[in-house]
Amino acid sequence: MPRVRLQAEPFDPGAETNAFLKGREETGAFVSFVGTVRSTPDKPVTSLTLEHYPGMAEAQITRFAEEALERFKLTDIAAIHRFGTMKPGEVIVMVMALSPHRLAAFDGANFVMDWLKTDAPFWKKEAGPQGENWVEAKATDDTARDRWKS
C-alpha cells in the first residue's frame, strides 16, 4: 500500500528519506523527487499558497501511486504533499520510489509527479511585489502526463 500524506506543516525530506529506507535490504534503487517554492530575480515570489480539495486530493495521489507500484513493479512508493502558505525554498511535495533496479524507480517517481501536477486537485496562488495571482496550468505538464497513457 502506498503511503500518501497531505499536511499543512513543513517536513524534512532528509528525515523522510531515512525513515523510508530503514530496513530495506532487498532493494537496490531509491529515487526521490522534491519540489520546492521557487522565487527568481525576474519573477520574485514572497509566498505560495496551495489550495486543495480535501479527500479527493489524497485519493487521486493514492490512485497514481498505486498505478505506479503496479506498472513499474516497485517495491514501495510514498508521497507527501503540503497545502497552505509557504515561503520560497520550502518543500511543497516529495515522492519516493523504491525498486530492485533504478529505471523503474525513476519511472515510478516521474509517473506519479506527472499525473499529480495535472490531475490532483491542488491550485497554486503566488504572492509577490506585484500582488497575488493564480498560477496558470501549463500545456507542457499535460504533454508530460500524456506520454504515460500509451
Residue ranges binding other proteins (CB under 8 A):
35, 50-53, 55-57, 59-60, 81, 92-93, 113, 116-125, 134-137
41: which residues sit within 8 A by CB, 6+ positions away?
A: none
In 3D space, the residue among 30, 32, 28, 31 whose CA is nearest the CA of residue 100 turns out to be 28
- Least spacing, CB of residue 28 vs other proteins, in Å: 27
Q: How far is the CB of 6 from other proteins (least distance, A)?
A: 11
By C-beta, is 78 or 116 nearer to other proteins?
Answer: 116
Q: To the nearest whole angstrom, how small is the minimum distance from the Cβ of residue 105 to other proteins?
A: 18
Pairwise CA distance, residues 123 & 12, whole Å:
23
Q: Between 11 and 27, whose beta carbon lies closer to other proteins?
A: 11
Closest approach of Cβ 82 to other proteins, in Å? 10
Q: Is 61 helix (H, G, I), strand (E, B) or coil?
A: helix
Q: Contact 56/139 with Cβ under 8 angstroms?
A: no
Q: Least Å distance between CB 87 and other proteins? A: 18
CB of 125 within 8 A of CB of 132? yes
Residue 86's nearest CA partner among 11, 3, 30, 140 is 11
Q: Could you tell me the maximum CA-CA distance found in the chain, to the nearest angstrom?
A: 52
Residue whose CB is less far from other proteins, 50 or 68: 50
Nearer CB in complex with other proteins: 29/121: 121
CB-wise, 72 or 115, nearer to other proteins?
A: 115
